């Protein structure tokens, strides 16, 4: 009952569209145009980011296997929570043409993983998989076994930059993906079972900074050249029940006061 109410409130809550941001060239881990911003966690809040794209349709699923994946095949998004809250994260496909005339395909089956923590931010150098420090971290964490990159879709991972600054640690919170995938080692956990180019998952989160890595789930798409696929992402935040109850009580008091003023005006 309560969950249905909250879901409906999220559905009916206002959606603010993020400003359109020019597509960036393939780069190391950064959040340009992909910052959902700061949520108070005290009111219903929702933000949509469109006009983003990922190269290739295999980035997320390639990070679920034994040799990990290349973070360049995913896109990183960030958000901040001022208070604990329930957070709903959704990604869908989006076909469009960029301002420079590049055609982005729809049709990707998106998968995403949520981590607490942020990559190194400017003025520090950007994190990337083949930085010597990142390779050393991978060798340490894999016990010397071969890895394709640093990205791990289903657990914590570490990476750094050319200055070898203390490692960025992405602490795994959870993940979800569109459809159901089995590339030979059993069905990968977290699929929504319906391959309709859309995936959504809710998480109860504590205050802090979060990174979402988003990529495709087509395990057969690992040989270049790759197409570019448009993405649309939504983060919706629902206050904790006690905070929301306080908010409703507050609104009720405002309403009572307004009614009293109105009654006095008519008496």
Binding site for Ca ion (CB under 5 A): 62, 65, 67, 69, 148, 178, 192, 194, 196, 198, 222
CB of 216 to Ca ion, least distance (A): 12
CB of 232 to Ca ion, least distance (A): 14
DSSP 8-state assignment for residue 184 = S
Distance in angstroms (rounded) separating the CA atoms of residues 90 and 10: 13
Cα 188 from chain centre: 19
Nearer to Ca ion, 39 or 177 (CB): 177
Q: Which residues have C-beta within 8 Å of that of residue 256, sequence separation ≥ 6? A: none
CB of 209 to Ca ion, least distance (A): 27
Q: Residue length, the chain?
A: 267
Nearer to Ca ion, 31 or 172 (CB): 172
**SS3 assignment, position 44:** coil
Nearer to Ca ion, 69 or 133 (CB): 69
Structural tokens at position 162: 């050319």
Nearer to Ca ion, 64 or 161 (CB): 64
CB of 40 to Ca ion, least distance (A): 30
CB 104 within 8 A of CB 216: no
Nearer to Ca ion, 148 or 240 (CB): 148
Distance in angstroms (rounded) separating the CA atoms of residues 150 and 153: 10
CB of 93 to Ca ion, least distance (A): 10
CB of 62 to Ca ion, least distance (A): 4
CB 23 within 8 A of CB 51: yes
CB 229 within 8 A of CB 47: no
Nearer to Ca ion, 162 or 192 (CB): 192
């Amino acid at each position: 009952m309560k969950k249905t109410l909250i879901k409906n409130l999220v559905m009916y809550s206002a959606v603010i569209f993020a400003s359109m941001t020019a597509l960036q060239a393939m780069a190391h881990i950064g959040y340009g145009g992909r910052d959902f911003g700061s949520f108070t966690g005290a009111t219903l809040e929702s933000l949509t980011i469109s006009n983003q794209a990922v190269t290739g349709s295999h980035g997320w699923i390639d990070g679920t296997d034994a040799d990990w994946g290349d973070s360049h095949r995913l896109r990183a998004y960030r958000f901040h929570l001022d208070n604990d809250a329930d957070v709903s994260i959704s990604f869908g496909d989006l076909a469009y043409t960029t301002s420079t005339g590049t055609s982005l395909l729809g049709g990707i089956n998106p998968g995403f993983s949520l981590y607490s923590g942020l990559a190194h931010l400017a003025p520090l150098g950007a994190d990337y998989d083949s930085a010597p420090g990142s390779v050393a971290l991978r060798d340490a964490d894999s016990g010397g076994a071969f890895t394709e990159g640093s990205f791990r879709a289903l657990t914590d991972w570490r990476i750094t930059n050319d200055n070898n600054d203390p490692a960025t640690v992405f602490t795994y919170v959870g993940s979800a993906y569109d459809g159901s995938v089995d590339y030979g080692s059993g069905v990968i956990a977290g699929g929504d079972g319906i391959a309709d180019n859309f995936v959504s998952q809710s998480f109860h989160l504590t205050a802090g900074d979060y990174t979402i890595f988003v990529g495709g789930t087509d395990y057969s798409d690992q040989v270049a050249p790759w197409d570019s696929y448009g993405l649309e992402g939504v983060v919706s935040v629902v206050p904790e029940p006690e905070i929301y109850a306080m908010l409703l009580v507050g609104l009720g008091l405002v309403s009572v006061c307004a009614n009293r003023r109105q009654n006095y005006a008519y008496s």
